[in-house]
Structure 1
Amino acid sequence: MNTPRSPGLPFIFVTLLIDMIGLGVVIPVGPQLVTQLTGNPLLAARNLGLLIASFSLMQLLAAPVLGTLSDRFGRRPVLLVSTLLTAASYGLAALASSLAWLFLARALGGIGGATIGVANAYIADVSTPQTRARNFGLAGAAFGLGLIVGPALGGLLGQYGLRLPYVVAAALAVLNFLYGLVVLPESRQRNDEPIALSSFVPLRALGVLSRFPGLPVLAAVIICMNLAQQFLTSTWVLHGTVRYGWTTGVNGLSLAVAGVVSAFVQIALLPRILGRLGNGRTVTLGIVLGVLGYVFYGLSSSPWMVFAAMPVGALAGVAAPALQALITGQTPPQAQGAVQGALGGAGSLCAIAGPLLSTALFSHFAASDAPIHLPGVAFFAGALCLLAGLAVFLAFRPQPISQGEPV
């Protein structure tokens, strides 16, 4: 029997899609804009890294706080205000006359983009145990589609001005705010319980993950998966450029193909896989396929092998929605925002540590004079992260506590 879909789910999908498009449209022009503002290419490279890190740092600080606020005051106001902050960040970047203003814009963007936990909590609120993983899969599809549209749109718009992609990203965020203002219903009743002060201390707020049975294990697994994903995305372009001599266009094409395949898996295949295997076995299958995909990427000696391995790598994406469904099943309704916000904060930690570790590994082992020449080392390291997550999941996976939770 089909369950009617909440009118808020399309807004969540569009919000995540616009977030990814907004991030993607600035990728082709971000380095040039930093160079323009600094006037020094070497200084620009250093500041570009700091800008990327500042975004993740603000997400780390803001995600647990926003999740807790959404438990107290509702998901709707937090999502709408964050959408406005995102619009403001892109607008400020479009007008930035100095690097300091660009850093401020990036910080605002990190806060506005820290609502992935709130969005996941909204999905948990309006989903049944049987539809949770499927709905989380739609969120994953939004990321995949954004990965396709964003960089392509940014490259096209960037030809007419370095700041035009930022203007378009701001306009998209404003339109999404207006859309949400009209169609987005609140997903939970207001909670009048006082908020613990520790909820506003970001790293201490991560402690909510230890308050409910089974969550520490599932959180450890998702952290391993997030870290592996960071190893992949942070070195993908570097690896393609160094190992295969890919141009910017070919790198963009590879990302677009990966996004298309990923979206197809989340929309078309995930519901069928869940129906046959349930959440737990879907997580296991996804992680195993992820390990194989990462190893295939690392071993690929020719570009065609990379593209041939993409379906396996994309099928690994079935693990994350199923794991999110298990996490929401272990979490009381009144704590969904805090838990999802804490997971968002942990994901931001991975977004800080992952690029630093993976690029350091790549720069050492991909060098022609390296003692061991291993350009795919970051992918192999990602596979080890996934194996660690799989070991934890198989050894300590908790039993679901929600009635009707698929296993």
Structure 2
Amino acid sequence: MWRQPKAVWAVAFASVVAFMGIGLVDPILKPIADTLDATPSQVSLLFTSYMAVMGVAMLVTGVAASRIGPKRTLLVGLVIIIAGAGLAGLSDTVTEIVGWRALWGLGNALFIATALATIVSSARGSVAQAIILYEAALGLGIAVGPLVGGALGSISWRGPFFGVSALMAVALVVTAFLLPPTPPAQRATTLADPFRALRHRGLLGVSITALLYNFGFFTLLAFTPFPLDMSAREIGLIFFGWGVALAVTSVFVAPRLQHRFGTIRTLIVNLVLMTATLVAMAVWTEDKALLAVCVVLAGLWIGINNTLITETVMKAAPVERGVASAAYSFMRFGGAAVAPWLAGVLGERNVHTPFWVGAAAVLAAAAVLALTRPHLPDIDAPEDSLDELTEQAEAVTVGSD
């Protein structure tokens, strides 16, 4: 798995920097609110605008990549991220930051979905190993993001935005030189293809599961800094521990549990454990030490979920992997977009409520996945069998020749 072409490592490095953007703003949410005199719900829009635009734009990524090629799509996405992050750092109001974060989300959408498909298609080894490599990049980026955000945010809340812009410029150069030219797809996809793919009950069920699970995930990510009420550096260290836990379980623990207990059973148990963690945070919200421990514990469950749900999506639907990724990403980032804003609104009235709502959403995700299980009979089958099933059903589901 670790002996990959330079092109794969180039995209993986850029993915690390791209995913830093998710956790980077966590440590500076409260400083931004204090400096710019904003409420938690207003500041949480930094997540909502980012995720909402990213979710909708995911529908466009496959269309763009199939027409101009994955490499050009990746590079365009990186340029947009550089601009969005830099302009957010130059802003003087929350409204301006929210707007530039939306632009940042557009760039991330073009990059992330294309990066996953590029790594899966270019990497040596199985699809599962390629996804683990991608999730390792995700986990490392999410882990380092809060640490960098805390360090730069302790100087100025603008620092993390400028930091991402600079790192993305490096990623742009690395990707431009190390990733070979990639031609457009033989068949250009359309905006309708992801919706056609969701007719497959297995993919639809897994996508709804991801939507609900991400609702709980981003409730924790966006709202917890407010009851913690610590410095940017302290919150950065806590979420660094969360990111490290996520990275370790996504790469080393998830494949072992999957091999021993099966994909669906592992995911259902894991979602129940995530629910229990959010319940503990809802009950003991005033206990900062317990909140910090629960954040790190949540990283364990989130790492396993991210790897296995992503792998399930890549195997669940008999469509091109780029189309499946676009459909799934559109659904899951929908949940991620609503959660931060709603958590901020609810938290202004009662600090316990956001975690209760997040726990209910994750428990509902476990129930949806259990109901979807009959539509995923071959999810743990050898990859050769899955590829054959994909080829047989692709023409019917996507409408390809």
1:122 aligns with 2:118: yes
Gaps of 5+ in 1: 367-372
Aligned mate of 2:104, from 105, 109, 115? 109
Aligned mate of 1:228, from 216, 234, 255? 216
What is the Cα deviation at residue 65 of structure 1? 0.3
For 1:259, the equivalent position in structure 2 comes to 243
What is the Cα deviation at residue 87 of structure 1? 1.0
What is the Cα deviation at residue 340 of structure 1? 1.1
For 1:7, the equivalent position in structure 2 comes to 6
- Secondary structure in 2 aligned to 1:403? helix
For 2:162, the equivalent position in structure 1 comes to 167
What is the Cα deviation at residue 136 of structure 1? 2.5
Aligned mate of 1:70, from 42, 65, 70? 65
1:287 aligns with 2:271: yes
- Which stretch shows the higher mean deviation, 111-120 or 273-282? 273-282
For 2:343, the equivalent position in structure 1 comes to 358
- Equivalent residue letter for 1:385: A
Q: Take 1:164 and 1:247, find their aligned partners in 2: how far apart are those partners?
A: 15
What is the Cα deviation at residue 78 of structure 1? 0.8
Aligned mate of 1:337, from 322, 330, 343? 322
- Equivalent residue letter for 2:212: C
For 2:184, the equivalent position in structure 1 comes to 190
Q: TM-score, normalised by structure 1?
A: 0.78
- Tell me, yes or no, if the aligned pair for 1:293 and 1:312 is still in contact at 8 Å: yes
Q: Take 2:354 and 2:41, find their aligned partners in 1: how far apart are those partners?
A: 23
What do residues 330-382 of structure 1 show as CA deviations (whole Å, max 9, x unaligned)? Answer: 4456x32222122222223112222233344444443xxxxxx7684244324
What is the Cα deviation at residue 64 of structure 1? 0.9
Q: Take 1:272 and 1:132, find their aligned partners in 2: how far apart are those partners?
A: 16
- Secondary structure in 2 aligned to 1:339? helix
Return closer, same or farther for 1:33/1:276 CA change in 2, 3 Å cut-off: closer
Q: Take 2:30 and 2:281, find their aligned partners in 1: how far apart are those partners?
A: 27
Q: Take 2:231 and 2:92, find their aligned partners in 1: how far apart are those partners?
A: 31
Q: Cα RMSD (Å) of the superposition?
A: 3.6
- Secondary structure in 2 aligned to 1:233? helix
Q: Take 1:102 and 1:73, find their aligned partners in 2: how far apart are those partners?
A: 30
What is the Cα deviation at residue 29 of structure 1? 4.8
What is the Cα deviation at residue 83 of structure 1? 0.8
Q: TM-score, normalised by structure 2?
A: 0.79
What is the Cα deviation at residue 27 of structure 1? 4.6
Q: Take 2:28 and 2:346, find their aligned partners in 1: how far apart are those partners?
A: 26
For these two proteins, the number of residue pairs brought into alignment is: 382
Q: Take 1:97 and 1:359, find their aligned partners in 2: how far apart are those partners?
A: 21
- Secondary structure in 1 aligned to 2:378? coil
Gaps of 5+ in 2: 388-401
For 2:391, the equivalent position in structure 1 comes to none
For 2:360, the equivalent position in structure 1 comes to 381
- Tell me, yes or no, if the aligned pair for 1:228 and 1:385 is still in contact at 8 Å: no
- Which stretch shows the higher mean deviation, 52-61 or 165-174? 52-61
What is the Cα deviation at residue 230 of structure 1? 2.2
- Equivalent residue letter for 2:122: V
Return closer, same or farther for 1:374/1:205 CA change in 2, 3 Å cut-off: same
- Tell me, yes or no, if the aligned pair for 1:64 and 1:342 is still in contact at 8 Å: yes
- Tell me, yes or no, if the aligned pair for 1:222 and 1:323 is still in contact at 8 Å: yes
What do residues 237-285 of structure 1 show as CA deviations (whole Å, max 9, x unaligned)? Answer: 23434xxxx5655433322221122212123323333333443443334
What is the Cα deviation at residue 120 of structure 1? 2.2
- Tell me, yes or no, if the aligned pair for 1:89 and 1:108 is still in contact at 8 Å: yes
Return closer, same or farther for 1:212/1:73 CA change in 2, 3 Å cut-off: farther
- Tell me, yes or no, if the aligned pair for 2:276 and 2:359 is still in contact at 8 Å: no
- Secondary structure in 1 aligned to 2:263? helix
- Secondary structure in 1 aligned to 2:224? helix
For 1:369, the equivalent position in structure 2 comes to none
For 1:348, the equivalent position in structure 2 comes to 333
For 1:218, the equivalent position in structure 2 comes to 206
- Equivalent residue letter for 2:275: V
What is the Cα deviation at residue 112 of structure 1? 0.6
Q: Take 1:168 and 1:41, find their aligned partners in 2: how far apart are those partners?
A: 24
For 1:138, the equivalent position in structure 2 comes to 133
- Tell me, yes or no, if the aligned pair for 2:78 and 2:168 is still in contact at 8 Å: yes
What is the Cα deviation at residue 59 of structure 1? 1.3
